[in-house]
Amino acid sequence: MLKRSVLPLLAAIAAMGLYVHRVGAALWRPYLYAEDGKVFLQEQLLLGTDALLTPFAGYVHAVPRLTALIASPFSAVWAPTIYAWINLGVMVWVVLTIAFCRLPYAWVLALLLFAVPHTGEVFGTITNAQWIMACALPLIAMTATPESFANRVNQRAFIALAGLSGPFSLFALPLFLWRVFERRDRHAIWLAALAVIAALVQIISVANNYVSFAGEREPMHLALTILDRWAGNLAYGWRSDTWYALLLTFCYGAIVLALAWWSTQRRLNMALLFFIALILGSTWLKFMPGHSRHLDFPSVDDRYFYVPKVLTLWILAGALYASAHWKKIVGMLALVLSIGAVENGGLEWWRKYIYPHKPWTEQARNIDAGYAVDIPINPEPYSVQLPARPGRNTGS
């Protein structure tokens, strides 16, 4: 048992080392990012525990809401640090959950979790932890029941919190139901039940709170953009704006599909492709009604493509365990191409962009004192806005 745990633990340590490297100064000099402060901290201070099930962007967000709740008894001065280190703990949880799935190369998947070309938008912020947590959902659904009781309990807790953080339980639910149909063991039923509950909560939240965009509609342009932001970023590190880049992207996509099908892990790979398709399809549905050109530039809202990129690398990683040598070679070359794409395109695809410092400490003390505040945070124009408590005026 100990020997079987060593490799996953070593892979988890290496993966977290890579994550810390990519986050950079955002961990050592933490700051509130976007909804960290504007939504989760602000609404926690205004609503208290009622904020836990308050939807944002149409969905329930359990992990950032719980983070805000945990931080609330402490001085607001410490909020950026508490948020950053809780987020780091969540990342450790995700990596360990992946590394200890019952799959011969699960440790490789854990290593690749933070290896994709990415602007860093989902790194170092509890607001976007949901995108990284979502990667584990199809893997848990499609791998065998863990032998240890602790691992089974961990997977159930993970499904509950990840499922209640963003819309991904809706996409994973068919996979968990399929698992019950195939296996019908107690753990499969537990996972499916938790996924059903989470999905129902999110469906009700979306039905009551979602607001669509209004504006230009270019469905084909948006569809091609989304496909290129997925496969093109991995194959080339940029948009496929030349004939040879387009050819490389097309060949890359064909290789991924071929290796997914001709694999000993075809069942898992089809589930990963299914999950990718639902995420890309939902992205199309979200932006098509009014923001069809919003995703044109390769670094805009890169979070929507993080999960598809990671799962694509996982499909390629499976080829390394194939019996046929040509699959191993092709899979390795495609993996090297994908990870190497961080050097292409003229963008910083490796280290997280560090925003300019904005004063927080002194103004956060005004929050503790009960004064009204309007504290700018990154990126502009986000800010933390709170009214004065009774008997207080605006802060100095």
What rounded mean pLDDT belongs to the chain?
A: 91
The reply to whether 146 and 224 lie within a common domain is no
The reply to whether 305 and 252 lie within a common domain is yes
Give 339-391 as a DSSP string.
HHGGGSTTS--SSPPPPPP---HHHHHHHHHT-BEEEE-BSTT-EEEEPPPTT
Cα separation, 158 vs 137, whole angstroms: 9
Give the structural domain span for 84: 1-211+359-396
Decide if pLDDT at 377 tops 70. Answer: yes
197 close to 185: Cβ distance less than 8 angstroms:
no
If 0-12 CB within 10 Å is exposed, 13-18 middle and 19+ buried, where does residue 250 land?
Answer: middle
| Residue 396: pLDDT band with limits 50, 70, 90 | very low
Cα separation, 355 vs 353, whole angstroms: 6
The reply to whether 269 and 340 lie within a common domain is yes
Rank 317-326, 352-361, 370-379 by mean pLDDT and report only the highest.
Answer: 370-379
Decide if pLDDT at 175 tops 50. Answer: yes
Q: What is the mean pLDDT of residues 321-329?
A: 82
How many domains does the chain contain in total? 2
Long-range CB contacts (< 8 A, 24+ apart) of 207-214? 208/55, 209/55, 209/58, 209/59, 210/58, 211/58, 212/286, 212/289, 212/290, 213/286, 213/287, 213/289, 213/290, 213/291, 214/289, 214/290
The first and second tokens of residue 56, run together, are 């944002």
The reply to whether 234 and 348 lie within a common domain is yes
Please state, for a pLDDT cut of 90, what percent of the chain lies above it: 71
| Residue 240: pLDDT band with limits 50, 70, 90 | confident
The reply to whether 230 and 336 lie within a common domain is yes
The reply to whether 384 and 335 lie within a common domain is no
The reply to whether 276 and 131 lie within a common domain is no
List pLDDT tens digits, range 125-134.
999 999 999 9
List pLDDT tens digits, range 137-170.
999 999 999 999 999 999 999 999 999 999 999 9
Give 218-287 as a DSSP string.
-HHHHHHHHHIIIIIHHHHSS---SHHHHHHHHHHHHHHHHHHHSSTTHHHHHHHHHHHHHHHHHHHHHH
The reply to whether 278 and 163 lie within a common domain is no
Cα separation, 378 vs 125, whole angstroms: 11
Rank 27-31, 207-211, 320-324, 344-348 by mean pLDDT and report only the highest.
Answer: 27-31
The reply to whether 363 and 374 lie within a common domain is yes
Q: What is the mean pLDDT of residues 177-199?
A: 95
Decide if pLDDT at 344 tops 70. Answer: no
The reply to whether 247 and 271 lie within a common domain is yes
Decide if pLDDT at 345 tops 60. Answer: no
The reply to whether 272 and 292 lie within a common domain is yes
List pLDDT tens digits, range 197-212.
999 999 999 988 877 7
The reply to whether 181 and 42 lie within a common domain is yes
